[in-house]
Structures are given as C-alpha cells and as structure tokens.
Amino acid sequence: MSPVTLSRYLIEQTRSNNTPADLRFLIEVVARACKAIAHQVQKGALGGVLGSMGTENVQGEVQKKLDVLSNDILLEANEWGGHLAGMASEEMDNAYQIPGKYPKGAYLLVFDPLDGSSNIDVNVSVGTIFSVLRCPDQYLSQNDALNEQAFLQPGTSQVAAGYAIYGPQTMLVLTLGSGVIGFTLDRELGSFVLTHENIQVPQSTAEFAINMSNQRHWEAPVKRYVDELLTGEEGPLAKNYNMRWIASMVADVHRILTRGGIFMYPRDSREPSKPGKLRLMYEANPMSFLIEQAGGASTDGHQRILDIKPEGLHQRVAVFLGSKEEVERVTGYHQ
C-alpha cells in the first residue's frame, strides 16, 4: 500500500468525524512551515543561521537568529490563507493581526516557533510547538483588530495541538482530539508520512526528567519526590530510576510519548513571583493535550494544566507531565 501522507490522513481520518476543511488546511500549512523550518535548522553553520540576534523576546530571553526566522516562516505561511483570526507566539509581545488585505477565519494559532533555543548552536534536537483554538464569535470581525482576550481560553478548548521535532529524523506529532499520531518526514517525497498510529504513554515508568541543578530552589513536595526517585529500590518507591534531561521540551516530551517517563519543570524560589519557567499557552497546553490524548497526565502540581484559565498570553506555569502513575504521585505530595 502506498504510504499514508499527512494530507491523506487528514482527509481519510477526519472524514469520519467531519473535521472542518479549514482546520485540515491549517494543519497542512503548519506542517509545510515546519518543513521549511527543518530545512533552515539542518543547514546550521552552512546557512549562517546560528548565533544570536542581539535582541530579547518578551520573556527577556536572548533571541537566536533561528527563533526569529522560524517565527517569520510561520507568520508568512499562515497569514494569507483566510483560516485564521490571529496568531500569537513566544517571540512576539502582542498578538499578530492578520493584514487587512487578507480574509480572516475562525481559528487562532499559538506557537513557540523554535523551542529549545539553548540547544540550537550545539546541534541538539529542537522543535516547533503549536496549539489551535477556535476564535470566540464575539471577537470575530473582518475589520476590527483582534482583541487578545480571544486567546485566553483554557487548554481544554484546544481543537488541535502538535509539535515538529528537528532531530535525527524530522517528525510531526499531532492530535485533533481523537488520539495522537506521528509522521516522519520523507525527504525524497517531501511529505510527512504516517509512521506512528495511536501513540500511548505507558502508565508507569522508571525514567524522570528534571534539571537537577535547581534542586535547592524546589518546594518541599518536589524535593521529597525526587529524593524518593534517587533512593531507588531501597526507598519507598522500591524501584531504581534513570534520569534524562535534554533541555529541549520537545525532545523530552517526544521521548516520554515514545517510551514513558515524567517531565518536571517545577516553580522554584529563584523567581517566586513566577509560577514556573515554561509558558502555558504555547508550551504546557499543547504538550498537555498531547500527553492526555496519549493516556498520560499533566498538572501544575495542584491542578490539571488544561483546566487553567489563562490571564495573559505569556503566562508561565509549573509542569509535571507524563506517565500517569508518577504524575499522580508527585501531585499527591502537593496536596
């Protein structure tokens, strides 16, 4: 049988649950933009795209050339299609208004154009994370500027989410709300080909992911939990655990979707005013949607991340996601 490409998947699989044509079109446009980003990322030094821009984003983080280039690729790919009411990104302070010369549509696209920036210049996997929301009717207008309030919906409102990972393979991992599927980029075809149907996170695991250098800054429940992981089979968990920390959320989450694990980025005392490092709208929410759709769990230590009502586009959140058994355990320690 000929390979099932993303286009064929979107038509065949979504015919049954009649996914709107505009949403299928949006996913294909985002996938095409991710192919263009992959092309730039994989040039590396040969493309003159490594290093920093010398500017900072709204988070006060130094912007890498590839951050800005990836952001521009996603904006240019999506602004003309007539399927979006607006866009928002880690790299832009405010929402992106669809230029007046183009029609607007019913969806909102939120993304981290290139996550894992600290790894870009050292050739470690990075990725693009995206989340799709419906624009509430009261904010839909062909003429008026889009009000940023339109984006501030809980993660349960997402209609689709996914990521592209630029690693040894370029893959697209996606959910439309009926499970998680994975596509691998076939460079000869130039298409994403279905390679992973029905991705499931194992309920239990022996692998955890956290940046241990922050240990002295964690809250007590996290210190207790990680201490128990480290005491292994002599400890209360009666199991030896392994550790991984790639410092690219896309790569760590991809490993967890593939073989299980728990990913943690807790809040810590370095910046007590901030509830965590990772951003809710375009990192935690899309990844939480994928993890839950794959049978895992995702909380901020106290509540389901997808239930959090956002108050700002760039709001941060603590993240505990992955194999349900471990997420429920560490969340229980916070109660």
Which residues form the interface with ligand P6P (CB under 6 A)? 115-118, 211, 247-249, 277-278
Residue 100: count other Cβ atoms within 10 Å of its Cβ.
10
Closest separation in Å from C-beta 210 to ligand P6P:
9
Phi, psi (5° rounding) for residue 182?
Answer: -125, 140
The amino acid at residue 132 is V
Closer to ligand P6P by Cβ: residue 79 or 91: 91
Question: What does each C-alpha distance from 180 to 44, 163, 166 come to in angstroms?
Answer: 30, 11, 18
CB of 320 to ligand P6P, least distance (A): 13
**Between 86 and 116, whose beta carbon lies closer to ligand P6P?**
116
Q: Of 70 and 191, which has the nearer Cβ to ligand P6P?
A: 70
Backbone angles phi, psi at 287, to 5 degrees: -70, -35
Give the three-class secondary structure for 295: coil
Nearest distance from C-beta of residue 248 to ligand P6P, angstroms? 5
- In the bound complex, what is the minimum distance in angstroms from residue 82's beta carbon to ligand P6P? 32
Q: Smallest distance, Å, CB 278 to ligand P6P? A: 6
Residue 285 C-beta: closest distance to ligand P6P, Å:
14
Q: Which residues contact 247 (CB under 8 A, 6 or more apart)?
A: 116, 118, 119, 124, 211
For 293, residues 6+ apart whose C-beta sits below 8 A from its C-beta are 175, 177, 178, 179, 180
Beta strand residue intervals within 105-166, DSSP E = 107-115, 126-134, 160-166
Q: Least distance (Å) from ligand P6P to the CB of residue 319? A: 9
Query: Which residue do the tokens 């993303």 mark?
Result: 6
Q: Which is nearer to ligand P6P, 105 or 167 (CB)?
A: 167
Which of 161, 162, 184, 181 has the alpha carbon at shortest distance from 171? 184
- Comparison of 10 and 291: residue with beta carbon closer to ligand P6P: 291
Question: Please, which residue, 228 or 252, has the CB nearer to ligand P6P?
Answer: 252
Q: Which residues contact 285 (CB under 8 A, 6 or more apart)?
A: 131, 155, 158, 161, 305, 306
CA distance 72 to 67: 9
Q: Give SS3 for 263.
A: strand
Residue showing the smallest CB distance to ligand P6P in the complex: 249
Reading the block at residue 171, the tokens are: 């893959």
Q: How far is the CB of 117 from ligand P6P (least distance, A)?
A: 5
**Of residues 10 and 49, the one with the C-beta less far from ligand P6P:** 49
